[in-house]
């Protein structure tokens, strides 16, 4: 009798131990995934800051003006990616978010705000601390290197607003980066279009 009760308790304890191990393993997995996602988001923000620095240096060498986007004809070397390449020392790994699938969608995972190309001086961008100059490219939007600011649909077509969980990284015209939900880039002010706020 004593032996059976002992055996029953042992089985219950075993089940509890297994349940606790499963719970802890699940927690460890969740923490592991979150820390990897956080590391990717931080590395991505670093990339954007480096690209922002390259844009500033390019503008400094070109009377304050930003490079062109890939629209229509023109000198391919004047397009922003080729034009800024020497200003980040050809370190091409910064052209790509760590959470981006380069094999499926190509190397470049960022888009520049087309409002500020075609002859805009970086110094003339109004409210640079709240004006987005670069965002994370939506997977599949591979034919252009920029995003456009003419409405919700066009922006959503070109920008991935959830690259890092519920947020994506954005580079602002003053050189800082922020991880934000996409809707906060449009409300209460449109951070993509300082001319029409």
Q: Which residues bind Zn ion (CB under 5 A)?
A: 44, 97, 163
Cβ nearer to Zn ion, comparing 138 with 163? 163
**In which order are the strands placed within the sheet that holds 168-172?**
146-147, 110-113, 132-136, 168-172, 177-180
- Interacting residues of 141 by C-beta distance below 8 A, sequence separation 6+: 111, 157, 158
At CA 29, angle to CA 27 and CA 32, rounded to 5?
110
b/e map of 17-34 (b: 16 or more CB within 10 Å)?
eeeeeeeeeeeeeeeeee
| Residue 112 three-state SS | strand
- Interacting residues of 13 by C-beta distance below 8 A, sequence separation 6+: none
């Amino acid at each position: 009798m004593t032996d059976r009760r002992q055996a029953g308790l042992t089985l219950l304890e075993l089940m509890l131990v297994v349940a606790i191990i499963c719970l802890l393993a699940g927690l460890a997995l969740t923490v592991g995934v979150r820390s990897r996602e956080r590391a990717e988001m931080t590395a991505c923000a670093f990339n954007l800051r480096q690209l922002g620095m390259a844009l500033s240096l390019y503008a400094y060498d070109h009377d304050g003006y930003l490079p062109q986007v890939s629209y229509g004809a023109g000198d391919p070397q004047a397009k922003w990616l080729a034009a800024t390449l020497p200003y980040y020392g050809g370190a091409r790994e910064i052209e790509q978010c760590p959470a981006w699938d380069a094999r499926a969608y190509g190397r470049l995972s960022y888009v520049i705000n087309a409002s500020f190309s075609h002859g805009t001086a970086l110094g003339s961008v109004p409210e640079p601390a709240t004006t987005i100059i670069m965002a994370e490219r939506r997977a599949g939007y591979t034919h252009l290197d920029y995003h456009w600011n003419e409405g919700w649909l066009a922006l959503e077509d070109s920008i991935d607003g959830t690259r890092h969980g519920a947020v994506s990284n954005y580079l602002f015209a003053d050189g800082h980066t922020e991880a934000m939900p996409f809707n906060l880039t449009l409300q209460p002010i449109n951070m993509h279009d300082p001319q029409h706020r």
